[in-house]
Amino acid sequence: MDTKYIQNFLKVIQSGSMSEAARQLDISPAAVAQQMRVLEQTLGVVLLVRHGRSVRPTAAGERLFERGQQLVQDCDQLREWVASDTDHGELRLGTVNTALHGFLPDVMRAFVARHESVRVTVRVGLTPDLYTALLQSTLDAALCLKPSFDLPKTVSWAALRQEPLVLLVPGADAAQDPLHLLRTRPLVRYDRELAGGKLADRYLKALGIAPRERLELNSVLAVAMMVEQGLGVGLVPDIGQALTRQRPVCALALPPLPHGHGLASSPSRELGLLWLNTSARIRWVRSLLECARLCQTDDSAGFATAGV
């Protein structure tokens, strides 16, 4: 349906005659009459009733006049928006909890500086759930762990940071041997159902350490808070300065594993960005990726860890 015909129909009703509408539109009365017939055929209803040289709308015509004004206005605004360079819209971003509390705020600050009028909605979840949402097109991109399987051609992955395991300890223990602390202090575990918790568990088993467990939590920041309260030490992925900022807590680097344990010498997990290549918001996804890479370059060393 040509919205121009609806716009001309509105003009006919406002002027009260086809000839006057034709004069204002600078087209022939026959052309206006033809457009009105096409509009009636398209909608399957009679819109106008003639009274001599004037016309009035039928009940259907009155309904079209009522809704048509808003429709034409919306179409005009849409045309202007599409033709303009204005950066408006919404980016739907998924993230794992550790990225939300780690480097995402820095990425968001850089992204918003570039795209002030773009609204970002953030959904927090586990990597498998975020990946499913991405495939279902309910997310445009996701900051998450690297999937362990091959990705379809419609999905792309870009690595952003490696997060090695570190040992969170009270500041007073900053000079202590981390393995000695793991053997002698209570352990505030990071949830073994999560990738980072599984990595920590494999590290402990590779060294033959059976820790004295006190708590098990599914939040890295919660582990840091418990360590701050003197409840033990925490073996967690290095998510950045958020772990130790404004806390009397220190992050100790761990000694590498000897060969033959089935793990890398320095166990770590990889975080990055997943996105749909077919997303209508791909330009913002690419900009988000650039911002994330710049943030990682500015903080390439992650947060400072104490030496062993």
Q: Please indicate, yes or no, whether residues 172 and 259 belong to a single structural domain of this protein.
A: yes
Residue 206 lies inside a defined structural domain of this protein:
yes
Q: What is the mean pLDDT of residues 234-260?
A: 86
> Of 118-132, 266-280, 287-301, which one has max mean pLDDT?
118-132
Q: Is the pLDDT of residue 298 over 90?
A: no
Distance separating alpha carbons of residues 289 and 186, to the nearest angstrom: 39
Confidence of residue 45 (pLDDT cuts 50, 70, 90): very high
**Which of 62, 83, 104 is the last residue before a domain boundary?**
83
CB 95 within 8 A of CB 122: yes
Query: Could you give the CA distance from residue 26 to residue 13 in angstroms, rounded to a whole number?
Result: 16
Same domain, residue pair 262 and 275? no
Q: How far apart are the first and last CA of the chain?
A: 73
Residue 269: name the closest of 192, 196, 203, 194 by CA: 196
- On whether both 204 and 78 belong to a single domain, the answer is no
Q: What is the biggest distance separating any 2 CA atoms in the chain, rounded to whole angstroms?
A: 102
Question: For the chain, how many structural domains are there in total?
Answer: 3
Residue 304, in any domain of the structure: no
Tell me how far CA of residue 66 lies from CA of 5, 7, 56, in angstroms: 15, 12, 14
CATH at 236: 3.40.190.10
Last residue of a domain, one of 57, 83, 109: 83
Task: Tell me, yes or no, whether 122 lies in a domain.
Answer: yes
3-state helix, strand, coil in the chain (%, to 5): 45, 25, 30
pLDDT at 254: 92
Q: Answer yes or no: is 210 within a domain.
A: yes
What does the pLDDT look like over 66-101, one tens digit per residue? 888 888 877 766 665 565 455 678 899 999 999 998
- The verdict on residue 305 lying in a domain is no
Span 145-200, pLDDT tens digits:
999 889 998 899 999 999 999 999 999 999 999 999 999 999 999 999 999 999 99
Q: How much is the pLDDT for 304? A: 36
Nearest to 244 by CA among 101, 104, 147: 101
Q: Both tokens of residue 125?
A: 């979840």
259 and 112: one domain? no
**Whether the predicted pLDDT of 270 surpasses 60:** yes
Give the 3-state secondary structure of residue 232: coil
Q: Is residue 308 part of a domain?
A: no
pLDDT of residue 111: 95
Mention every residue, 6+ apart, whose C-beta is less than 8 A from residue 184.
none
CB-based contact 250:176 (threshold 8 Å): no
Question: With pLDDT > 70 as the criterion, what percentage of the chain qualifies?
Answer: 90
